[in-house]
Amino acid sequence: MRKYHIITHGCQMNDHDSERIAAILENLGYEKTESPDRADFILFNTCLVRENAELKVFGQVGALKGWREADPKRILAVSGCMMQTGPAGDIIRDKYPQVDLVFGTKNIEKLPILLKELEEEGRVFDTSTYSVDGSDLDLAFDRKSSFSAYVNIMTGCDNFCSYCIVPYARGREASRPPREVLEEVNFLAKAGYKEVTLLGQNVNSYGKDFQVDFPSLLAKVAETPGIDRVRFMSSHPKDLSDDLIHVIAKYPNIERHFHLPLQSGSDKVLREMNRHYTREDYLALVDKLRKAVPDITITTDIIVGFPGESEEDHQASLDLCRKVEYDNAFTFIYSVRPGTRAGEREDQVPDTIKSRRYQELCDVLYPIFNRKNQAMVGKRVEVLFDGQSKNDPRKISGRDSGYHLIHVPGDQNLVGQIRQVEVTEANSFALMGRVLN
Ligand code: SAH
Ligand code: SF4
Ligand code: F3S
């Protein structure tokens, strides 16, 4: 039986696309292997949100030249956001002859046809849009986990934040009909899944084409019997409604965690980023969330070194981080993305300044994370365990409803279970605990 191996970069959308690609390949008779050496088909599902994500792929594809040349029947494929937009697809075609097949984010369903073309005609490069009818297709994923599942509720993005390439890689925003989403969640609950994560680039703008908005959809998902935990991401602050906050407060199985990407704490930079909120708007949202759901954790995404960012703008970001007291954050150094508005600007911040600001941001954030995590020590939390700890094989890791990463001594039997845990220790990035029941 032919074996496949997929390497996925980027965000949850790509992870979930890889689960779909895996299902298609298995349907064609392929079998998964964790070892690239044993594979007959290797696929890189790529990301281009920052330059380093792109560079990594060229290196990895380059390194497989020998593997590909060792057997003419082997297939090396590249897919995903980086192939869908920008020059990378052409570079792969012209400079990486070892690559047999390229497809994009919009024609995953065409993979069986593309593989046939490859067999009959040789190298195939196709990133055109291709869609198929039939909602049962949407249920066919080879999910990595048997207890926690991603569910797409929308694709694409219409926000065009000026630094971001995602709207070019993923196309225009489109919501999936609520009936389809709920059918899939029901199917997952019956199959024994305990947790679902609803995915969209901006879930708060869900349902413009339907009578069901995101808060109503979320409530219906939370009401599905058997679903113990509901997560969702991402939420754009400009569209966060009071209704959504009420729904979170009402349903205890919706995670006590809100990922609210800030990007910058400077009103000038926020305007130039095309974010449509001010720091005051943002602080008011945080306040509202904490009043309605007092135990909620708040995490964020922040970029340093956006074009034209002054020292004062940077200080405004640091100040806002101190004010909000985030539980965790993804921090990024601005990366020029050709084709975006910010990428065209002349007033790019020099790398040395960007690195210094990045360090200063971490220096502000890490002690806050530590303080907030220390405040968890002695508390009881409910943890869904998802696998062996990356740092210590004798420990099992999971997440509580507030999305804290927590490690406990234990064995693989815990994986997939929800247990009460007492938090015993903490640092800036994780909690340690012991299972109580
Ligand atoms: N739609 C989601 C996630 C988008 S990508 C959202 O809006 O939250 C994830 C994060 O990558 C963004 O939130 C942003 O912080 C970061 N990012 C996007 N483009 C970037 C760039 N050009 N340079 C650095 N970070 C970037
Ligand atoms: Fe990018 Fe903004 Fe869309 Fe998020 S909302 S994907 S940051 S354009
Ligand atoms: Fe995700 Fe990267 Fe594409 S962040 S949407 S995989 S560009």
Q: What confidence tens digit (pLDDT) does each residue in 354-373 have?
A: 999 999 999 999 999 999 99
Summarised one tens digit per residue, pLDDT across range 64-92 is 999 999 999 999 999 999 999 999 999 99
Q: Are residues 292 and 237 in the same domain?
A: no
- Ligand closest to CA 302: 1
User: Pick from 70, 99, 126: which residue ends a domain?
Assistant: 126
Q: Has residue 166 been placed in a domain?
A: yes
Domain extent for 401: 380-435
Q: Has residue 64 been placed in a domain?
A: yes
Q: Has residue 172 been placed in a domain?
A: yes
How many domains, the chain? 4
Q: Are residues 329 and 406 in the same domain?
A: no
**Residue of 158, 164, 172, 276 to test ligand 2 pocket, by largest number of atoms within 8 Å of CB:** 164
Distance 218 CA to ligand 2 centre (A): 21
C-alpha span between 316 and 312 (Å, rounded): 6
Distance 381 CA to ligand 3 centre (A): 32
pLDDT at 198: 98
User: Pick from 325, 352, 375: which residue ends a domain?
Assistant: 375
**Residue of 202, 332, 337 to test ligand 1 pocket, by largest number of atoms within 8 Å of CB:** 332
Q: How far is CA 103 from its chain centroid?
A: 20
* Closest to 321 in 3D by CA, of 306, 305, 307, 300: 300
Q: Are residues 237 and 280 in the same domain?
A: no
The CATH number given to whatever domain includes residue 328 is: 3.30.750.200
Q: Residue 345 pLDDT > 60, yes or no?
A: yes
pLDDT at 174: 93
% of the chain with per-residue pLDDT over 90: 94
The CATH number given to whatever domain includes residue 173 is: 3.30.750.210
Q: Are residues 156 and 102 in the same domain?
A: no
Average pLDDT on 383-388 reads 96
Nearest CA, atom 14, ligand 1: 301
- Ligand closest to CA 235: 1
Which atom, in ligand 2's list, is nearest to the CA of 170? 6
C-alpha span between 399 and 196 (Å, rounded): 13
pLDDT at 139: 59
Distance 331 CA to ligand 2 centre (A): 15
Q: Do the beta carbons of residue 249 and residue 289 sit within 8 Å?
A: no
Q: Residue 306 pLDDT > 60, yes or no?
A: yes
Which atom, in ligand 3's list, is nearest to the CA of 9? 6
Q: What HEC string does the chain produce?
A: CCEEEEEECCCHHHHHHHHHHHHHHHHCCCEECCCHHHCCEEEEEECCCCHHHHHHHHHHHHHCHHHHHCCCCCEEEEEEHHHHCCCHHHHHHHHCCCCCEEECCCCHHHHHHHHHHHHHHCCEEECCCCCCCCHHHHHCCCCCCCCEEEEECEECCCCCCCCCCHHHHHCCCEECCHHHHHHHHHHHHHCCCCEEEEECCCHHHCCCCCCCCHHHHHHHHHCCCCCCEEEEECCCHHHCCHHHHHHHHHCCCECCEEECCCECCCHHHHHHCCCCCCHHHHHHHHHHHHHHCCCCEEEEEEEECCCCCCHHHHHHHHHHHHHHCCCEEEEEECCCCCCCCHHHCCCCCCHHHHHHHHHHHHHHHHHHHHHHHHCCCCCEEEEEEEEECCCCCCEEEEEECCCCEEEEECCHHHCCCEEEEEEEEECCCCEEEEECC
211 band by pLDDT with thresholds 50, 70 and 90: confident
Q: Is 202 in the pocket of ligand 2 (CB under 6 A)?
A: yes
* Residue 90 CB neighbours (<10 A): 12
Q: Are residues 273 and 320 in the same domain?
A: yes
Task: Give me 300's structure tokens.
Answer: 């964020």
Q: Has residue 138 been placed in a domain?
A: no
Q: Are residues 117 and 11 in the same domain?
A: yes
pLDDT at 209: 80
Distance 49 CA to ligand 1 centre (A): 7
Cβ neighbors of 326 (< 8 A, separation 6 or more) are 298, 299, 300, 365, 368, 369, 372
Q: Has residue 136 been placed in a domain?
A: no
Identify the residue whose tokens are 């002054």: 310
Q: Do the beta carbons of residue 8 and residue 14 sit within 8 Å?
A: yes
Q: Has residue 155 been placed in a domain?
A: yes
Summarised one tens digit per residue, pLDDT across range 149-170 is 999 999 999 999 999 999 999 9
Q: Residue 137 pLDDT > 70, yes or no?
A: no
The CATH number given to whatever domain includes residue 411 is: 2.40.50.140
User: Pick from 375, 395, 411: which residue ends a domain?
Assistant: 375
Q: Are residues 220 and 302 in the same domain?
A: no
Q: Are residues 238 and 272 in the same domain?
A: no
Distance in angstroms between the alpha carbons of the first and the last residue of the chain: 44
Q: Is 381 in the pocket of ligand 2 (CB under 6 A)?
A: no
Lowest mean pLDDT among 31-35, 142-146, 201-205, 235-239: 142-146
- Ligand closest to CA 54: 3
pLDDT at 409: 96
Distance 412 CA to ligand 1 centre (A): 34
pLDDT at 138: 53
pTM of the shown model: 0.95
Q: Are residues 285 and 222 in the same domain?
A: no
Q: Has residue 319 been placed in a domain?
A: yes
Average pLDDT on 243-270 reads 98
Q: Residue 136 pLDDT > 70, yes or no?
A: no
Distance 167 CA to ligand 3 centre (A): 10
Q: Do the beta carbons of residue 385 and residue 415 sit within 8 Å?
A: yes
pLDDT at 155: 93
Q: Are residues 319 and 409 in the same domain?
A: no
Q: Are residues 247 and 169 in the same domain?
A: yes
Distance 240 CA to ligand 2 centre (A): 15
Summarised one tens digit per residue, pLDDT across range 167-207 is 999 999 999 999 999 999 999 999 999 999 999 999 999 99
Residues lining ligand 1, CB < 6 A? 49-50, 163-164, 166, 201-202, 234, 236, 261, 263, 301, 303, 332, 334-335, 337
Q: Do the beta carbons of residue 334 and residue 49 sit within 8 Å?
A: no
Distance 167 CA to ligand 2 centre (A): 7
Q: Are residues 8 and 75 in the same domain?
A: yes
Q: Has residue 140 been placed in a domain?
A: no
pLDDT at 395: 96
